[in-house]
Structure 1
């Protein structure tokens, strides 16, 4: 556990909390977690919201930064990601812009 925590760049206590499902990683920590595990620790995204969330986590982006990349406001991006709203046809190029982002 201590070695894993050091590799990911966190405190061993934080790793313990993650293993016990007592805390969730911060989004900026996901790229290091993915590198350490050599896979993404969530199910294969199915919905467009899940795809947005997975891509955002993969790159360690806040909703604010993801919205900036897509060219929308944070509220819109968050609603797309949560599935509360589905992107309308005119917004699909904005979603594609974000999903093409590679950091």
Structure 2
């Protein structure tokens, strides 16, 4: 546990909280966690909302920064990510770039 915490860049207490589901990692910590584990610790994303969340975690981005990268404010990006709103057709190209493809 101590080695894992050190590799990921957190203290052992934080690692213990994560293992016990007492706390969740901050989004900026996910890239190091994914690298350490060798896989993404969530189910394969299916919906656009799930794909946005997964990509944001992979990159360790805040909702605000993800919004900036897709040309929208953080409220809009957050609503896309939660599935509350569907993006307008004009936003799909920017979302495709964010996701790394145009699918």
Q: What TM-score do you get using the length of structure 1 for normalisation?
A: 0.94
Between the aligned partners of 1:97 and 1:38, the Cα distance in structure 2 is: 24
Q: Determine the structure 1 residue equivalent to 2:71.
A: 71
Matched position secondary structure for 2:17: helix
Gaps of 5+ in 1: none
Tell me which moved more, 52-61 or 82-91: 82-91
Between the aligned partners of 1:21 and 1:96, the Cα distance in structure 2 is: 33
What value does the CA root-mean-square deviation take over the aligned residues?
Answer: 1.1
Q: Does 1:3 align with 2:3?
A: yes
CA displacement, residues 45-90 of structure 1 (integer Å, 9 cap, x when unaligned): 0010000000000010001110111111111000000000011222
Q: Determine the structure 2 residue equivalent to 1:84.
A: 84
Q: What TM-score do you get using the length of structure 2 for normalisation?
A: 0.94
Matched position secondary structure for 1:55: helix
Gaps of 5+ in 2: none
Correspondence 1:43-54 to 2 at 5 A: 43-54=43-54
Residues 69 and 97, structure 1, Cα contact 8 Å, conserved in 2: no
Q: Displaced runs of 4+ in structure 1, greater than 6 A?
A: none
